[in-house]
Structure 1
Amino acid sequence: MTDRGTRVAVAHYCEGAGHASRMLAVTRALETAGYETVLAGGGPGRTFVERNGYREYEPTPVDLIDGYQRGNPVTALAGAAPALTGRVRDYAGWLRRERPAFLVADDISAAVAATLTRTPYYYLTHDPAGFYTTTAERVGARVRNRFAVATAELFALPKVWTGAPTIPGAEVVPPIAPAGGALDASVDVLVVPSAFTVSEDRLRTALERRGRSVTLVGGDDWTVAPSLQPYIERATVVVCSGYSTVMEAAVAGTPCIVLPHTSEQRGVVRALADDVGFYAAASVDDVVSLLDRVEAPTPRPNGVDRFVELVVEHAGR
């Protein structure tokens, strides 16, 4: 039986595969540091987790995007309360069964469960209240962040941008991305959909009419890959909406056009407004008009090793 001191738990949020992608990068770094890992999270990231050779526990799923992030946060939160309660309960049961030395998570439900089960945990998120424009969303972000700052062993904030917005009490680390790798393919425009506000088919058609070659992640001709990072490294430009892909493009030094869908994503593009290499678009026409005007960003260091270094250092005290 594995020594409890070497077994750690990793939990990712369940909305979008990007959370699974970043926490898989953390998982691999923890394993390199000598830990055995157990994973949990579920949602769209499950397929990606399995493609990387892992199995994970799936707690009750939660979906806040349609309500909370589209302008009706109070109603959405009330409607999601049973699922949130169930997710915390499921995580707590999982932690009691696994009895890890500590938890690493980007899911606030896992953070609450860790606190309830007295499991030390390390938190990784990019959710400052300054991203949001409504009072309810700002209050929600402050409550989440203050809870984690007060109860986590370490709260890490992976930032592509500099300066505000930030999270008081959080340790800033470079953006998180999986390891890169060789790719035997050419990539021009890489489209990474995440509930785009525009039609993916219309976007692809418009780009191809401009003579551009399009690789659509999740399209009919797409095979699930263990990591998008090799594709992002090879791409001429990335079109996305999620912050995980933005971080991966920042590490790769690849220009990135962002089509924000949620209020959080709109906050990201505001934070990146003065950073070369990152561009905001609201329509297919915006994307097309930007294609020939993008500049590559200065590649950022990958923050995975720094984050895990901080976790290992703290856990060894």
Structure 2
Amino acid sequence: MRTVGCLIFDGVRAFDYAVITEVWANRAARPGLPGFDLLVCGPPGARVALTGGLERVPDAGLDALTRCDLVVVPGMADPLAPFDPALLDAVRAAHAAGAQIASLCAGAFLLAGAGLLDGRTATTHWWLADRLAERHPAVHVDPQVLFTGDGRIWTSAGVAAGIDLCLHLVRTAHGQQAAAEIARSMVTAPFRTGGQAQFIPSPVPAAAERDDPLTAVRGAVLAALDSPWTVGRMAREAVMSERTFARRFAEATGTPPLRWLLEQRVLAAQRLLEETDLPVDAIAVRCGFGSAVSLRPVFTRRVGVAPREYRRTFRGRTPDMGTA
């Protein structure tokens, strides 16, 4: 059984804490889902005050984080306040013990304070990104992405992006089916494309009448991923010029049209590898890659393993605890 540690301390955001518990707690009895052992860790014997007037007594002390396979740090109300050195030591020790470390929203400030983000690319809520970069110049802060990481350490943007990261960690360890099932129970998307750009206030009005053709185009593309889609063809579907379509698509989704298309094709390939016995060549054709030779480098670059290895890992098995 995989052990997931949630680090809590005074000022932790109740929403982030709730996201962590919703994804990883109480899953053992659900058919077809991994059984997670969620361990809420904090200052020993202390009643921790979360935001919103909520309180939580930790299940275990800070030293228990070294026994976890994954440690998740929620965001906090005041990320610019000094951190208790014991918290910084605890995440350093967990990382040294081999745990994956992830932060939600402003939790990146604690990881940066512990020195775990030095030389790495990290993100946080777009409103706090400049502060993180100023305070920790050794960290490359990318304010555009929803989440980022290198397999050992992960950071996410604000609020809902924490859900995205948590589901991604489930997906990489246990497969898309497990992540999708948890997402369905949370009534959320198992995977969102784009970045924070789509949520940052912009002087460009997001008129409802402009959104409709873009939504229709995305639906048409998803219904025919095997078609030879180009920006020009999508623009014609939306009755726009290519330049206007590309700009508006990026404003609405946070990603350029062809990058979004590639992400959707890879996701579709993952689903078919998990849920069908189709040959890899047939899956490549269905998803618009044309052949397994064309699918393999793109899939490997984005998922981390080749299609056949991915199928061997996730096809036809009940997701277990494995290693990420």
Q: Give the TM-score of the pair, scaled to structure 1.
A: 0.31
Structure that is richer in helix per residue = 2
The structure with the largest alpha-carbon Rg is 2
Which protein has greater RCO, CA pairs closer than 8 Å, 6+ apart? 1
